[in-house]
């Protein structure tokens, strides 16, 4: 599985982690600092989003 980018809203810090699939097929990641999972938001990485807001 690829790595995903996450962001801990408690530590205000992004981190990269593998996703852990728990019993109920719930994909979570644990913050390496505070070891919480509920304060972690998943970030979408490696997505080529072409925003045409400029120009
Ligand atoms: Zn944290």
Give me the pLDDT at residue 30, please.
86
pLDDT of residue 17: 78
The span from the CA of 20 to the CA of 6, in Å, is 13
pLDDT digits (tens, 9 = 90+) for 13-51: 998 876 655 555 556 788 999 999 889 988 865 555 566
> What is the CA(9)–ligand 1 centre distance, in A?
7
CA of 40 to the centre of ligand 1 (A): 7
Residue 33, Cβ density class (10 Å: 0-12 exposed, 13-18 middle, ≥19 buried): exposed
pLDDT of residue 16: 86
How do residues 33-43 score in pLDDT, each as one tens digit? 999 988 998 88
Tell me how far the alpha carbon of residue 46 lies from the centroid of ligand 1, in angstroms.
Answer: 22
Supply the pTM of this predicted model. 0.60
Domain ranges of the chain: 4-43
């Amino acid at each position: 599985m690829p790595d995903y980018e996450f962001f801990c809203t408690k530590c205000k810090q992004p981190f990269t982690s593998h996703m852990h699939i728990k019993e109920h097929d719930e994909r979570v990641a644990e913050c390496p600092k505070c070891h919480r999972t509920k304060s972690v938001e998943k970030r979408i990485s490696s997505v080529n989003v072409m925003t045409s807001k400029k120009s």
